[in-house]
Structure 1
């Protein structure tokens, strides 16, 4: 796979555009969920409506290296676009919750393939300095959708209906795909043979248990354990032992995702149920961290240990509690810490160095580490909060983030 003239700029812009389309897709889907549930008479099956895209992503992770090896660049991009657009069409024309979930499964599968392809292409063709900027710019791509996405989605839904509104992200995906395909040639990746499929399929199996547990914590815990075993099979050797270099960075990514995304998933519950604040106040606090993350990542990008320590401290304050301004400041500091830490940590986790890891292996590993970490964090938080340990869950998240800070130094 060879970068064409001006390929670096085109590839970087394409990856950022695909991230923007992912942000648009996320906010459109979450904003339309109540409307879709009402129209499909699926108010008691919300778990089914939201499970499809997540499960599709986890199915894609163990299969991505095989698809890239068999289809090459253009074939993988074409397959991803067809699956993505086709899935959205199926969801937009669905007359039942199961058909909607099937369409979302296809879009999640496509998103996973496109993500692995984008990250592996960046590893191959962009040096560390450019990759750092691409990661920071990709984080910033969530700012506009976070601020304007929900309101714009609702306005468009009132104008043309939810089914047409669901198709809004398609042009952004096609634009990103066009930029990427102009930047690289269709040479098959020169990667090593993928690992045996058996153990890696435990990731989607375990994810299915967590996503479909619908609050039944024994199934959520069992699913989390199964997914963690599959994650170890996908990650490079030495990750579980915190071997210095890329494996330690990937381990830190897992711990970061457990702590930060676990805390983020329960913060509205913590503020409203735990501290008796209004939903409006909870929404303000909820948006503070991602905005702090996105803005800070544009300016300071090489402080993983310092940033993760700040995020751990902000999360610890949430476990203790306080008035609204204190909690708002704490979660803002947590987001700023992520902005300081994430780009540098991501680059370290996707730099092979002397280890000899292939680009596709690293791309699959870093996405798996972050996604399974999110899954584990939400499973841990959901289980503890269901057992009356809502505040204890934030102490666990703070410990996970402090551990991520320590591991990142390796």
Structure 2
């Protein structure tokens, strides 16, 4: 108990942690930069490679295969060390970027994006396990606050930088440049982790085959869900079928009782999926509204999200410093209130034609709410975990993210398309986000406590 204050005072930047911290944050930063940059350059890539038919798949494929990477790496970590699975995930991420960067046709680029997704999902889970096995529990909140902050700079400069690279160099360097920088970032991590004892003393022994089969089924379902809007009048049937496949296949990949919001870890994982669906589903329509209704350029519309990114980072830092003092119930109420306030402001702006500044300022509340809740849920996941299931639980959290975002984006997209040309289109998608945020209160008030402030985990 006496070591905790010392660790807290020196923090994650002390000499024995600094290279792991810098390298891990850099890996998160580069993944975020690449994700945001691709959104900017993909229209140019599609035109250059004559790939309009595969435009959506280039995005959906990465999300789908990331689920497979999450499950595989999570199981691998639970069976021993973390260095080998992390290395494999990073290599897949780099190989995918190189394939995409050198692609001469759209099918080849999509293949690169599929490989990249395997690496992205695995890398995220592996880094969570690194945090669990390298840092003392008292510092977990600080580390995940740093991870959240690593998304801020990409959200500020990612679209602009990607556009500049595409205009003055070539779109290929958006992929190849990130690949080169990832090698450097990983070197910082691996040189330090190589000397640390990262194996669990009681490795998991359960079968991985059935879980991998479920992960592949979830990936196929997520990909089908993203394409559901292409089947016209059968869109809702396709959504229902895809959602059924995802729901059935996801159950073995999530803690028992997740879909029923059982107290403890199941509610932690469920809440993460609901708030991810609320924010990421609605956020893609914020710049769309600014362009469509207010005449913003794409660059300025993207910058309209800057306030939310800054608020996310600030709130994540507050959570990292004072999360234990605030408590999980209070963080849930504060975070969901901020998210609901933001989406309701978006509904009112779209419905009443309020000034664009109101939408931009209001969306900052969403960033603040997520900054409080997102890293806190990760801290809780690790606190509820043991060395034998850290990988499983970390992958479950990321899978919930992906499923929540993919499902809400698909449903919102179909609703928006059905109402296109009417004044109800934008208010409808923001109203769906409001409903998801309110629904998150159900698991959010059942999070419980895993003694995360003292580091004593229980499953």
Contact 2:308–2:367 at 8 Å: present in 1 too?
yes
After TM superposition, the structure 1 = structure 2 runs for residues 148-187 of structure 1, keeping only pairs within 5 Å, are: 148-181=157-190, 182-184=192-194, 185=196
Give the Å deviation of 1:204. Answer: 0.5
Q: Which residue of 1 aligns with 2:276?
A: 257
> Of the candidates 416, 438, 449, which is equivalent to residue 385 of structure 1?
416
Residues 7-406 of structure 1: matches in 2 within 5 Å?
Answer: 7-68=16-77, 72-181=81-190, 182-184=192-194, 185=196, 188-189=199-200, 190-194=203-207, 196-197=210-211, 198-213=213-228, 215-216=230-231, 217-218=235-236, 219-273=238-292, 276-280=293-297, 282-301=301-320, 302=323, 303-321=331-349, 322-352=354-384, 358-388=389-419, 390=425, 391-406=427-442
Q: Partners in 1 of 2:131 and 2:204 — Cα distance?
A: 15
- 1:151 and 1:271 map into 2 onto residues whose CA distance is 17
Asked if structure 2 preserves the Cα contact closer than 8 Å seen for 1:92 and 1:166, the reply is: yes
Cα distance between partner residues in 1 of 2:119 and 2:301: 33
Alpha-carbon offset, residue 357 of structure 1: 6.7
Deviates more, 1:128-137 or 1:363-372: 128-137
Structure 2: 5+ residue runs without aligned partners? 1-13, 324-330, 447-459
Deviation, 1:241, is: 2.3
Structure 1 pair 85–356 and aligned structure 2 pair: CA distance change class (3 A): closer
Partners of 1:284 and 1:85 in 2: CA distance: 28
Once residues 81 and 257 of structure 1 are traced to their aligned partners in structure 2, the CA distance between those partners, rounded to angstroms, is: 24
**TM-score normalized with structure 1 length:** 0.88
- Return the offset for 1:108: 1.2
Post-superposition Cα deviations, 1:125-159, rounded to whole Å, max 9, x if no partner, equal 32333111111111111222222223333333344
Any stretches of 5+ residues in structure 1 without a counterpart? none
CA gap 1:186/1:227 in 2 versus in 1, 3 angstroms: farther
Q: What is the aligned residue count?
A: 403
Where 1:161 maps in the other structure, the secondary structure is coil
After TM superposition, where is structure 1 displaced by more than 6 Å over at least 4 residues in a row?
A: none
**Alpha-carbon distance, 1:192 to partner:** 4.4
